[in-house]
Amino acid sequence: MSLIHNLSAGILFSLVSTAAHAEGISTHVLDIANGVGRADVPITLSVQDENNSWTDIGSATTGENGRVESFGEDITVEEGVYKLTFDMSETGETFFPEINVVFNVEDPEEHYHVPVVVSPYGYSTYRGN
């Protein structure tokens, strides 16, 4: 019984650790003109270094519901300045072909959900949950 208990606890701990690691930063694109998530939007996640240069650390494309839950399992979110770049150029009529959202990660243990709400001639962003 002790061996089964230890194995179960180890598996559970492994699953919890993996989920927290993969879910550090997420986003979604909401098309407010049509009231739906915008699918197939390429997004790049970058981090700023000490010289204020950007390094791409992950990329993803929004799903049918307009969401990106993870930018890759190999990404470790640390304290720093991050940027999400939304490539809106292939998503229909838009005045803004690229949207850059720069934000601070102050506590790497927290989840950072950074969505954008878009319309053909505007966009807005906020820290979601």
Does position 128 have pLDDT exceeding 80, yes or no?
A: yes
Q: For residue 78, is pLDDT > 80?
A: yes
Q: How confident is the model at residue 104 (pLDDT cuts 50, 70, 90)?
A: very high
Helix (H) or strand (E) holding 3: helix 2-22
Measured from the Cβ of residue 33, the count of other Cβ atoms closer than 10 Å reads 14
Give all domains of the chain, ordered by start, each with its CATH number.
Answer: 2-125 (2.60.40.180)
Question: Is the pLDDT at 1 greater than 80, yes or no?
Answer: no
Helix or strand or coil: residue 65? Answer: coil
Output phi, psi for 21, to 5 deg. Answer: -65, -45
Predicted pLDDT at 91: 82
Stretch 28-51: mean pLDDT, rounded? 96
